[in-house]
Structure 1
Amino acid sequence: MPRRPGTPRGPQGGRRLLVISASMGAGHDTVAAELVRRARERGDTAQTVDVLALLPYGLGAVLRCFYRGSVRHFPWAYAALYRLFLRPGAGRRPSGTPLARLAGDRLRELAARTGADVVVPVFHLGAQLTGHLRDRGLLPVPSVVLVIDFELHRQWLHPGNDHCLCLTEEAAREARGNTGTPAETCGPVVAPEFSAGRVPGAAQWRETFDRLGPGRPAVVLSAGAWGVGSHLDATVRLLVDHGYLPVVLCGDNQRLRRTLSGTPGVLALGWVTDMPGLLHAARALIDNAAGQTAVQALAAGLPVVGHRPIPGHGADGVRRMAALGVSEVAEDRTALLEALARLTAPGPDRRRRIAAGRALFTGNADALTLVTDLADAARADVRR
């Protein structure tokens, strides 16, 4: 895997990482940013590229708008596409490779220009792209796929990639079985502020909660970066009627925020910059997608209850989290109220759920360490 003559090395001979993310919501970008931060902290060089920006003819923007519109307004359409393209299972079905390979030339040029030692997709379309290029010998450095979903859907998998890192051993076994390439378990990539013992912003959030709903346990409702959810208004009213303070994360959905802000006893928030403080101050999270907000809540020691998940990967991810024992699923309003009553109050149920969630972050190798070890091994092979 020779490097182009004159390509600079990272500081003090450090590695160079190229992380492939996607501006589909904020979860993938959040993981990519934390991976880059950790790499730079260790003296390596790292940067992120949006795979949607690598697609020609404006296809990336079209793909993002289509996905966003489908999830918000036509969830049945997204559910059908998920069953066709993504959902795990046997059988020959369409692949994302034909779309991904349209970005191949741009990625190859970027990898050469930056002198990347390793390419790390944290979005499934990026994994299809690197797998395609590696399979054909067009990408001269290893690709390590970092799967950030609990549910390992089929578009994460391409036999051309060198390695796959998963959140659970079950997912790693599935990846090995489907691709024949190495796969192992790593801890979720979450900023250290979420698992800190004391978070400065938490006290200010608690003051806000006490002012808006004295004596009411604050329960965060996650609707993702795009403010997507099923019957959020009904869930909010249910919580208010039963003595909770709903704290709704509306993301960039200003219409949703305006609508919910008119409901007494509700805190509707736009984009939140102090998520560690918010999650440390709340008593539970109601989750609808098993995304990064749910993972951050687990790191912060906040019990997670899945309720009315978005279709496709959201529903499958919520069920997988519950099967792992790190969260619960509430299928209806009665189950939701019962779960919140147990998990917001001090007691053994809350302690067990918190411990199960935090166990995801212990006992597994660090994702960045695994990535850089593979990069080092590849560089050593070149020298030999």
Structure 2
Amino acid sequence: MPPGRVAIVSASVGAGHDGAATELERRLVADGLAVDRHDLLDLLPAGLGRAVREGYHRMLVRAPWAYQRIYSSTERARGGGAAARALLRAAEDRVLAVLRPGTGAVVSTYPGASRVLGNLRLAGRLTAPVLTYLTDFSVHPLWVADGVDVHLAAHAVPAAQARAAGARDVRVCGPVADPRFRPCEERERNRARARFGLPYDAPLALLVAGSWGVGPVRQVARELRDCGAAVPVVVCGRNEALAGQLRADGIEHVYGWVSDMPGLMHAADVLVQNAGGLTSLEAFGAGLPVASYRCIPGHGLTNAAALDEAGLGVWIRDLADLKGVLCDLVHGPLGVRQREAGLALFAQSSNGGPAAEIARVHRAGPPALTSHPVAWRRTRPRRLVVTTAVAGAVWACAVGTGVATTCDGPALLRAVGHGLVLDRHASAHGHAAGGHHS
């Protein structure tokens, strides 16, 4: 008998969604399941996936205020706008086409993928159960899509937020992280410091800002250095320009893309982060206390609040508190409590964690839908005029709403340098002037 088959749909927006998908895949394969991986951005029409990725990146770098407005407005509206819905509808056939026969469960690690899969499930076009693995510690309402059968949460705090957003079957099953992220003894810590050329006798603060190196990283690195609580060790991801700027600022220990993050965490005494994504979960697994400081807008702020509420990551809101909190995390009882809380989070995975829960749902087959399937008929997608890459910036806050309803559109276009136009007139009359059409 061939092995059971699971599909995972993620999105290459940053590294966190794909990182969670990779670890889920590894565990599911180890459990004897066949796994197919798909990137939602590759399944958007007319090459829009690249625009989504680049536009989102540009927005975080050039116009973070706009991202905050989009994030807040979609949170209040509990969903995306017309442009987002049109893009997602255009992806439905493509997503369905890549799911192989015999797929017994489909897992999303990205809000946009959850919406596409949920719509297919509600329409009766997808019979396999759909699960969403919540990669963020805070749960924006866009994470909770009608039609998704099960939501998997790492902790009770995101689980409660998912239920408040309307999710029915929410299961707390612990986080996923590469098993190399584990506590280490002093001898291994010293070897890691030697390998990275780091001082043996100084407390080290590992400063991370995601795979793109976004946020006020230079300011934070200087503040860490100047407060004297710990020596900053900065990971810039793929942002080579940032690495050069930090070296010019006199920051001694600066790295670009690091393939051995477990080793670097073993060398450090505390993690300072600004987004609250997968790296924070990895730090918990490594027994490293976590501080959130000068967080990026949107999910960076809400993740910091959720981690603080859970007692897993202290949120430093003021420069005046930076030195005292870091010293307590490195040497004091606050650090002891945070290490214990982080390791206890992984103890929740003793029953197999999210991958085992996915396997159980796969074996059980599709549960009854909570609402009746809607009648489906093929309709011509609304035509999108993509003038530039804010096609992604507007949508990539996990399928957001339109520029005009969330912020000052002209200011956004000036700041980001790209834009999305949903041509309603062309949609109605079957023509559009210029751009690329879906």
TM-score, normalising length from structure 1? Answer: 0.89
Partner of 1:33: 22
Q: How many matched pairs?
A: 364
Deviation at 1:47, TM superposition (A): 2.3
Q: Contact 1:97/1:132 (CA < 8 Å) preserved in 2? A: no
Determine helix, strand or coil for the equivalent of 2:348. Answer: coil
Report the AA paired with residue 376 of structure 1: R
Where in structure 2 are the equivalents of 1:148-297 lying within 5 Å? 148-179=135-166, 181-195=168-182, 197=184, 202-207=189-194, 212-213=198-199, 215-230=201-216, 232-243=217-228, 244-297=230-283
Partner of 1:5: none
Where in structure 2 are the equivalents of 1:1-384 lying within 5 Å? 13-85=2-74, 87=75, 89=76, 94=81, 96-111=84-99, 113=100, 115-179=102-166, 181-195=168-182, 197=184, 202-207=189-194, 212-213=198-199, 215-230=201-216, 232-243=217-228, 244-345=230-331, 347-364=332-349, 365=351, 366-378=353-365
Q: Which runs of 5+ in 2 are unaligned?
A: 369-438
Partner of 1:9: none
Determine helix, strand or coil for the equivalent of 2:365. Answer: helix
Q: How many Å separate the matches in 1 of 2:187 and 2:55?
A: 39
Report the AA paired with residue 163 of structure 1: V
TM-score, normalising length from structure 2? Answer: 0.78
Deviation at 1:296, TM superposition (A): 0.6
Q: Contact 1:288/1:309 (CA < 8 Å) preserved in 2? A: yes
Q: Structure 1 250/199 Cα, relative in aligned 2: closer, same or farther at 3 Å?
A: farther
Q: Structure 1 97/143 Cα, relative in aligned 2: closer, same or farther at 3 Å?
A: farther
Determine helix, strand or coil for the equivalent of 1:57. Answer: helix
- Name which of structure 1's ranges 261-270 and 221-230 shifts more when overlaid on structure 2: 261-270
Partner of 1:7: none
Report the AA paired with residue 145 of structure 1: T
Report the AA paired with residue 335 of structure 1: D
CA deviations 1:102-127 (Å, max 9, x no partner) are 1111111111x353111100001000
Report the AA paired with residue 205 of structure 1: A
Q: How many Å separate the matches in 1 of 2:354 and 2:234?
A: 31
Partner of 2:380: none
Q: How many Å separate the matches in 2 of 1:316 and 1:358?
A: 22
Deviation at 1:265, TM superposition (A): 4.8
Determine helix, strand or coil for the equivalent of 1:360. Answer: helix
Q: Contact 1:261/1:268 (CA < 8 Å) preserved in 2? A: yes
- Name which of structure 1's ranges 92-101 and 321-330 shifts more when overlaid on structure 2: 92-101
- The alignment-based identity, stated in percent, is 35
Q: Structure 1 176/336 Cα, relative in aligned 2: closer, same or farther at 3 Å?
A: same
Partner of 1:6: none
Q: Contact 1:298/1:357 (CA < 8 Å) preserved in 2? A: yes
Higher RCO (CA < 8 A, seq sep 6+): 2
Q: Which runs of 5+ in 1 are unaligned?
A: 1-11
